[in-house]
Amino acid sequence: MSKETPLTIELQHLDGYAFKVKFADAAGSELLVDESPPLGEGKGPSPSQLLLTAVANCLSASLLYCLYKARHEPKDMRTRASAEFVRNESGRLRIGHI
């Protein structure tokens, strides 16, 4: 992916808080995203889980890049990440820490 190429996704509302996500640069790739109960039905990963996944994957890929550049071959790399929810000034839940 280059800087000149925009990153594009498309969300299609299905019902409740469920959306189907289409990734423009990955032909045939779709993902069902839904909020956890009581808001949604938990039919797929929540947007918060996807954000946590994206951050963990980005940091893991950066580490791999550095390891490969230093000519180290990781044998069994695993990444575990967790997020902490906090309430903002308005009382709304937000991801406070990853």
Q: Write down the pTM of the prediction.
A: 0.81
Give the Cα separation of 20 and 16 in Å (integer).
Answer: 12
- Local confidence band at 1 (pLDDT 50, 70, 90 cut-offs): low
Query: Do 11 and 19 meet the contact criterion of CB atoms below 8 Å apart?
Result: yes
Give the Cα separation of 47 and 53 in Å (integer).
Answer: 10
In the 8-state DSSP scheme, what is residue 90? Answer: T
Give the Cα separation of 88 and 93 in Å (integer).
Answer: 7
For tokens 């000519």, name the residue: 71
Q: What is the DSSP string of 28-42?
A: T-EEEE-PPTTTS--
pLDDT digits over 6-57, tens only? Answer: 888 889 999 999 999 998 877 778 999 999 999 999 999 999 999 999 999 9
